[in-house]
Amino acid sequence: MNDQPGFSVVRRPATAPAGDGLSALLGDYHLRTEEEKGRPVADVNGLPDRYRAEVEDPGTAFADAVVLVATDGETAAGCLVVTAPADGRSEIKRLWTAPGFRGRGVASALLAAALDHAARSGADAVRLSVWRWRTGAVALYERFGFTVTAPWDEREDLVCMERAVRAAPPRTERDRS
C-alpha cells in the first residue's frame, strides 16, 4: 500500500495468523494506555474485557474495519485501524508504533495510508480521539490537518479531532497492475 525506506504498510487480512505481530502491538498499546491513565496492569490478562478481546482476536474485534500494519521485513513496527464510513465518516483507532521504530515515519505512513483508504471508501471526513497527554500524537494529527472538534466521547482528557478527506479518483486497470 505504501512503502518507506525500511518498512512497508500493508492491509492485514482478517484471517491473518495470530503470530503476525498485530496482537503484540495492540497489547503494548493498551498496556501503555492503562499505565498512562494511572491504572497499570501487569499483563494483557488484566486489561478490560473489550481491550483484551482486541488483543486476543483482532480479526473478530475489527471485522468491519481495515487494519493496516507497518512491517520491517517480518517484524510488525506499527498498526492502525480505520473503520468503514458511517454517516460519511471513518474513524481512526489504535495508531501505535513500536518504541524501537519511532522517529522513522511509521505513524505518518500508516496515517497517510488510512486517509487514502478512507477517501477511496467514500468517507467525507475522518475522525479520531486521542488522550490529551499524547502530545506527539496530537502534533502528528495536526500536521495532517486534523482539528479539534466537538466531542462525541465524553471521557475526561480525551480530545476529539476531525478532518475532511477528498475522494481519491477511482483506480483504473493500469493502477492495479
Phi then psi dihedrals of residue 71, to 5 deg: -125, 150
Mean pLDDT of the residues in the chain: 90
Domain 2-168 has CATH 3.90.1150.10: no
The percent of residues above 90 in pLDDT, for the chain, comes to 80
Residues ≥6 apart with Cβ < 8 Å to 171? 120
**What is the total residue count of the chain?**
177
Q: What does DSSP assign to residue 154?
A: -
Of 14-23, 47-56, 103-112, minimum mean pLDDT range: 14-23
Does the pTM surpass 0.85? The reply is yes
Q: What is the domain partition of the chain in residue ranges?
A: 2-168
